[in-house]
Amino acid sequence: MSEGNNIKSEVLRAATVSGAGPVKRIAIFGSTGSIGTQALDVIAANPDKFSAEVLTAHSNEDLLIRQALSFRPNMVVIGDEKKYAKIKDALASTEVKVFAGEKALEEVAALDCYDLMLAAIVGYAGLKPTLKAISQGKTIALANKETLVVAGDIVMRKAVENRVPIIPVDSEHSAIFQCLVGETRNKIEKVILTASGGPFLGRKPNYLVNVKREHALQHPNWSMGAKITIDSATLMNKGLEMIEAKWLFNMRPDQIQVVIHPQSIIHSMVQFEDGSIKAQMGLPDMKLPIQYAMAFPKRIPNQFPRYDFKKVSTLSFEEPDLRTFRNLALAIEALNKGGNLPSVLNAANEIAVYAFLRNRIGFLDMTDVIEKTMARIPFINNPTLEEYFDSDGEARNFAADLINL
């Protein structure tokens, strides 16, 4: 049995026995985002199964206040400390506790008042609270893929040490996870991540050079937060997901394949050592993987629209165009070399996407920023957590200097 299967069986076993009572108490880190709001819809539809105990947001205080008034969590955290007074005021007549600041995210992650953390903050900012929750033995439903891209070895090791199940929310990884139920003893030959190809599928660099943020924010199949929508347009998202898959399922880089599947009906596949391929399918709707991660190991009924084989007749597949979508090639390089390179790639990408979303650089410039940053920051083969933090900071500074941010 491979080490990956050991981790997997540990995760499946621990998740089966986790949960304090019939109602799972959920902490949504990033409750005002695309994933966070959909998770609250799932909770609202299943009040007998879930309660929202902790809600956190970075700057959208109005939505956080509305969510708090409607779900009456134990506590809320606002990242931006300037917004604390307004929230405190708005919730004065309730029992909801209010905290503010980056440190508070970690402190709240350590509390006993919840059973499962839905890690739905975007970017590197999600790493520290998630690590804190793992050290406290909390089950993690992981949407924040950057956590595993930056420090996947340390995150997974700590999860095993603390017997913490990490249940993927990312649709591809949820698909793979679902395909693996019942397969604990069987070796995986490879995993096949499907990608929609984004809004610029089939386009060439002479088109991409003129693409603006409004174009890039139009995803054909999924409605998501701004950062991941841009990552989907550049195919960086799939690169981050390859690295995420490496850590979640303990795969070698050559066991992770990407295939473009524009209809987004097959969410990903697992090929076992007998050549048999299992796929998980359905309409593209993040509520399903969110609900699955929160309810695991149970499936719960819902009213989400169903895929109808009579309506869509063609499912198609093609190779990704790595010469045009070079971000994916850079991510594959980081996946292969390992060490601190994925954390450098991630940091440079966060800066590049931030700049693109503010019309400071063009679509193809994002790739240049990432490539130059990867070439500049010294390689560390087996980084400590501190070294991952340092690499992230150095890469951010270098990338920001490159574009005069």
At which residue do the structure tokens 């905290």 appear?
99
197's contact among ligand NAD, Mg ion, none, with CB below 5 to 8 A by partner kind, is none
Cα–Cα distances in angstroms (integers) from residue 58 to residues 41, 123, 377, in the given order: 20, 12, 29
**Residue 170 or 350 with smaller CB distance to Mg ion:** 170
67's contact among Mg ion, ligand NAD, none, with CB below 5 to 8 A by partner kind, is none
At which residue do the structure tokens 């340092």 appear?
390
**Residue 222 or 389 with smaller CB distance to ligand NAD:** 222
Query: Candidates 38-46, 63-71, 87-95, 166-174 — which segment interacts with Mg ion by CB under 5 A?
Result: 166-174
146's contact among Mg ion, ligand NAD, none, with CB below 5 to 8 A by partner kind, is ligand NAD
**Residue 83 or 173 with smaller CB distance to Mg ion:** 173
327's contact among Mg ion, ligand NAD, none, with CB below 5 to 8 A by partner kind, is none
Residue 115 in contact with Mg ion, rule: CB under 5 A: no
Cα four-point dihedral sign 344, 381, 250, 25: negative
Query: Candidates 134-142, 169-177, 275-283, 366-374 — which segment interacts with Mg ion by CB under 5 A?
Result: 169-177
Is residue 117 within 8 Å of 140, Cβ to Cβ? yes
- The distance of closest approach from Cβ of residue 127 to ligand NAD in the complex, given in angstroms and rounded to an integer, is 10
Number of residues in contact with Mg ion under rule CB under 5 A = 3
Binding site for ligand NAD (CB under 6 A): 30-36, 57-58, 60, 79, 120-122, 125, 143-146, 170, 222, 224-228, 286
- The distance of closest approach from Cβ of residue 170 to Mg ion in the complex, given in angstroms and rounded to an integer, is 4
145's contact among Mg ion, ligand NAD, none, with CB below 5 to 8 A by partner kind, is ligand NAD
CA–CA–CA angle 232, 238, 240 (5° rounding): 105
**Residue 5 or 30 with smaller CB distance to ligand NAD:** 30
261-320 positions binding Mg ion, by CB under 5 A: none
170-189 positions binding Mg ion, by CB under 5 A: 170-172
- The distance of closest approach from Cβ of residue 216 to Mg ion in the complex, given in angstroms and rounded to an integer, is 17
**Residue 144 or 178 with smaller CB distance to ligand NAD:** 144
- The distance of closest approach from Cβ of residue 224 to ligand NAD in the complex, given in angstroms and rounded to an integer, is 3
- The distance of closest approach from Cβ of residue 284 to Mg ion in the complex, given in angstroms and rounded to an integer, is 10
354-373 positions binding Mg ion, by CB under 5 A: none
- The distance of closest approach from Cβ of residue 329 to ligand NAD in the complex, given in angstroms and rounded to an integer, is 20
Q: Which residue has its beta carbon closest to Mg ion?
A: 170
- The distance of closest approach from Cβ of residue 241 to Mg ion in the complex, given in angstroms and rounded to an integer, is 5
Neighbours of 214 (CB within 10 A): 8
- The distance of closest approach from Cβ of residue 248 to Mg ion in the complex, given in angstroms and rounded to an integer, is 12
| Residue 304 CA from chain centroid, whole number | 22
Give the residue from 211, 131, 120 showing the smallest Cα distance to 168.
Answer: 120
- The distance of closest approach from Cβ of residue 2 to ligand NAD in the complex, given in angstroms and rounded to an integer, is 26
Is residue 191 within 8 Å of 176, Cβ to Cβ? yes
**Residue 84 or 222 with smaller CB distance to ligand NAD:** 222
Residues that bind Mg ion (CB under 5 A): 170-172
